[in-house]
Amino acid sequence: MEMPTLFIGQKLIYLKKTESTNSFAIQLIENNPEKVMDGMIISAEQQTAGKGQFNRKWISNPGENLTFSLILKPSFLRPEKLFYLNKCICVSITETINAFAMNSCIKWPNDIYVSDKKICGILIENKIKNQQIEFCVAGIGINVNQTVFPEDITATSLKIETGKNIPKDSVLQVFCSKFEKNYLKLKQDIKHFDNVYLQKLKGVNKWQQFRVKNLTASLLIKGVDELGHLITQDQNGNIQKWLSGELQWINEP
């Protein structure tokens, strides 16, 4: 596959089947660090044990969707700024989805949505060695040609949204191109992503229902801070900061 980039995806390992592309990438880095380049991609037709957030499984019909891991070595980034890499990746995915004529947004912290349905999930695993980022592995699953999803999942795909079969390679090419531009921007001007991310943030400046342990709370979404906490305001004007996992979205009916 011809990749319209300088280094992102120029080295690509394609697997028919693997447990999880993130696990494959992490093992590769541990065993052969000298073979791993910034921007390398591990792509798989089928994951038998794909990983999602909070040790959930990532399930995807074999062959229908794009599932890959992007290996990065952002030596310019300090560990305390890691959430900016998440911002940069999320923004790049929305741009990729939008290139196929639709409007996507970022559902905090790590999902990409189109019209209230999930189209992409991201799992970023980082290795920090004595206060330095050694590598980041971003596992990305984009629903491309799958049209039937389990009943309990509110998901969509590029095919459902456009009505057309989309070659997975094209989606990967667009992503690599968008991400490369944004990654270079991140290196130059990290703060750029505060605003761009906020513009794409689902529900920003809107009241939203959340579940907090056994309670239901109505909270106004204000933004996301440097460390990735969601910033909200309640009806009394009090500001809260949340970790992912402390807060569950309750979807509008």
Nearer to a copy of itself, 133 or 158 (CB): 133
Which of 48, 103, 132, 199 touches a copy of itself by CB under 8 A?
A: 132
> For 180-206, b where at least 16 C-beta lie within 10 A, e where not — what string?
bebbeebeeebebbeebbeebbbbbee
**Cβ at position 141, least distance to a copy of itself in Å:** 14
- Window 168-197: residues binding a copy of itself (CB under 8 A): none
When asked if residue 49 is in the footprint of a copy of itself (CB under 8 A), the reply is no
Q: Which of 245, 251, 252, 253 binds a copy of itself (CB under 8 A)?
A: 245
Contact flag: residue 82 with a copy of itself (CB under 8 A): yes
Q: How far is the C-alpha of 157 from the C-alpha of 180, rounded, in Å? A: 24
Measured between alpha carbons, how far is 70 from 181 in angstroms, rounded to an integer?
Answer: 15
In angstroms, the CA 9 to CA 4 distance is 9
Task: Candidates 76, 79, 216, 248: give the one binding a copy of itself (CB under 8 A).
Answer: 79
Compare residues 93 and 124 and give the one whose CB is closer to a copy of itself: 124
For 214-218, the CB contacts below 8 A with 24+ separation are 216/250
How far is the C-alpha of 31 from the C-alpha of 208, rounded, in Å? 45
Exactly one of 6, 27, 164, 165 binds a copy of itself (CB under 8 A); that residue is 27
- Pairing mode of beta strands 40-47, 66-72: antiparallel
One character per residue 107-126, x = contact with a copy of itself (rule: CB under 8 A): --xx------------xxxx
Nearest residue to 179 (alpha-carbon basis) of 84, 99, 90: 90
Taking the least distance from each CB to a copy of itself, the nearer of 19 and 45 is 19
User: Candidates 5-13, 60-68, 75-83, 151-159 — which segment interacts with a copy of itself by CB under 8 A?
Assistant: 75-83
Q: Indicate the residue type of 219.
A: L
131 binds a copy of itself (CB under 8 A): yes
Question: Helix or strand or coil: residue 176?
Answer: helix
Query: Contacting a copy of itself (CB under 8 A), which of 3, 8, 26, 174?
Result: 26
Binding test (CB under 8 A) with a copy of itself, winner from 45, 61, 117, 127: 127
Contact 142, 119 (CB under 8 A): yes
Options 112-120, 127-135, 157-165, 187-195: segment touching a copy of itself (CB under 8 A)? 127-135
Q: Which is nearer to a copy of itself, 178 or 229 (CB)?
A: 229
Helices (H) and strands (E) in the chain, counts: 5, 12
Can you tell me which residue has the tokens 């911002």? 87
Q: Using CA of residue 150, residue 64, residue 55, residue 221, what is the dihedral sign?
A: negative
Interface residues with a copy of itself (CB under 8 A)?
A: 23, 26-27, 30, 53, 78-80, 82-83, 86, 109-110, 123-132, 134, 227-228, 243-245
